[in-house]
Structure 1
Amino acid sequence: MISSYMFSPSTASPDKGFVKICGVSSIKDAQLCARYGADAIGMLLTKPGQCREPGSDRLAPDEAARLVAALRGGLDTVLLVHASDPGEIVALARHIKPSALQVQSSVPPYDLLEVKKQCPEISIIKTFSVHPGVDIDELEAEIQRYVDNGAIDAVLLDSERGGSGVVHDWETSKEIVARFASVPVLLAGGLNKDNVAQARQRVGPYGVDVMTGVNSPGRRDRKDESRLREFFKAWNEAVKVQTNER
């Protein structure tokens, strides 16, 4: 765990090996992630008005709140939000009380700044899509708007459709990491035990975010212990190699 405030300036170091495991929906899996060295877990919510379906990795808000309460003082918790209304985001944050919000939707910087003002103890991660044909200068300008307004604490670069298990263009992500050297940048999208070391070496992110790469085969609601073990083994070795090279 980094701290109660996940992305303070002192933690934004390229030597820090930060790993978030997304799509965690049970205390058992959260504890399994912690055992192998996860810094944070990500929680997905059911759509408004829907109940949780059997086998789903999505939690109802009350279930997410109970999971956060059970993990308080241990793992950091990240709530993925697709809402675009700042009032709705604040309401979810106050109810569930995660360590951080991962904003997936298009929310203007000034609206996110208002969320930060009302929930100053919660970090804000903004997801940006590295989709085919993306213009890197336009992507940089978009991210810069949020950074300049002090609206976010970290950036997450993901493939066009999050949770798809598809790898995006790492060269674009590498350039964004270089252009925002003072901002924690997380890499997501199709990561697994076989490519995470290469991702660390080529892109140089602050940390990584993995979901499908550590899921149990055919299950979205369970993490696979052997996949977690092998993923962290590959990641930790990559961090150690890069640290020794400096």
Structure 2
Amino acid sequence: MSVPAQPLTIKICGLSTPETLEAALAAGVEMVGLVFHPKSPRFVPPKEAAVLAARARGRAEIVALIVDRAIGEVTELVEAVRPDWLQLHGRETPEAVRALRAATGLRAIKALGVADRHDLAAFAAYDGIADRILLDAKPPKDAAYPGGHGRAFDWSILAALDRTSPFMLSGGLDPANVAQAIAMARPWGVDVSSGVERAPGVKDVERIRDFVVAARAAAAATTEAGRT
């Protein structure tokens, strides 16, 4: 896989308070994620999310994470919150991704669960349909929600990924391992949630800052290594 041609995109997902949102924005992240899956500990009601989105608008791109929602529900959510992206973190088919993009006019990130190299076969079905594909670790079988479990997968399997579109990486990332993940996977972007928390759904300001610093340094080092 080639070195990304543009700077690394960093997304902090599951933000739910003004303090932690401001910490992410102050750190210079490109994307902030708001979770609209009620079973998640990071769930934010649309009215509260609209207030957070207003604070972030023009400072970072706003991502609305949804799971297997009907088009009507999604369009109502989009009208209330006005995100820049949809992140589809359920079992949405390529046809559903295409329909949601058309109905909302928004760009879409499609999350794919990965446990081993066989799961990478799904990439081709969404390549060119979703604007970005997010490779995330598969959740535990009994999980109530699909992401944010602090699990990682073997990033070395991505070396054989046949793709034409850039991808984002998630799953078990934290300030201590994000540099290794970037060096191995060479993603377009990284997405973190539980790795910058002190408890499920409770973001930590210092961990957010540490994650961004570590990711930026790793991206710079990886880019420089690709030039030599």
2:124 maps to a residue whose letter is Q
Q: TM-score, normalised by structure 1?
A: 0.80
Aligned to 2:34: 43
1:45-98 CA-partner distances (Å, limit 9, x unpaired): 252xx9x9xxx5321122112221222111111111012433333332233211
For structure 2, the residue ranges without an aligned partner over 5 or more in a row are 140-146
Deviation of 1:220 after TM superposition, in Å, equals 1.9
CA distance in 1, matches of 2:168, 2:37: 24
**Alignment CA distance shift 1:169-1:14 (3 Å):** farther
Deviation of 1:13 after TM superposition, in Å, equals 4.0
Work out whether residues 15 and 33 of structure 2, in 8 Å CA contact, stay in contact via their aligned partners in 1.
yes
User: What pairs with 1:146-225 in structure 2 (closer than 5 Å)?
Assistant: 146-147=126-127, 150-161=128-139, 162-176=147-161, 179-180=162-163, 182-215=164-197, 217-218=198-199, 220-221=201-202, 223-225=203-205
Work out whether residues 67 and 90 of structure 2, in 8 Å CA contact, stay in contact via their aligned partners in 1.
yes
* 2:1 aligned with 1:24: no
CA distance in 2, matches of 1:65, 1:15: 30
Q: 1:226 aligns with which of 206, 219, 226?
A: 206
**Alignment CA distance shift 1:168-1:71 (3 Å):** same
Aligned to 1:95: 80
Aligned to 1:63: 48
CA distance in 2, matches of 1:168, 1:183: 20
1:165 maps to a residue whose letter is G
2:52 maps to a residue whose letter is L
Aligned to 1:123: 107
Work out whether residues 130 and 157 of structure 1, in 8 Å CA contact, stay in contact via their aligned partners in 2.
yes
Aligned to 1:145: 125
Aligned to 1:240: 220
CA distance in 1, matches of 2:131, 2:167: 9
CA RMSD between the two structures = 2.2
Equivalent residue of 1:38, what SS? coil
Number of aligned residue pairs: 217
* 2:96 aligned with 1:111: yes
For structure 1, the residue ranges without an aligned partner over 5 or more in a row are 1-11
* Identity level (%): 30
Equivalent residue of 1:105, what SS? coil
1:100-124 CA-partner distances (Å, limit 9, x unpaired): 111011122222212212222x210
Q: TM-score, normalised by structure 2?
A: 0.86
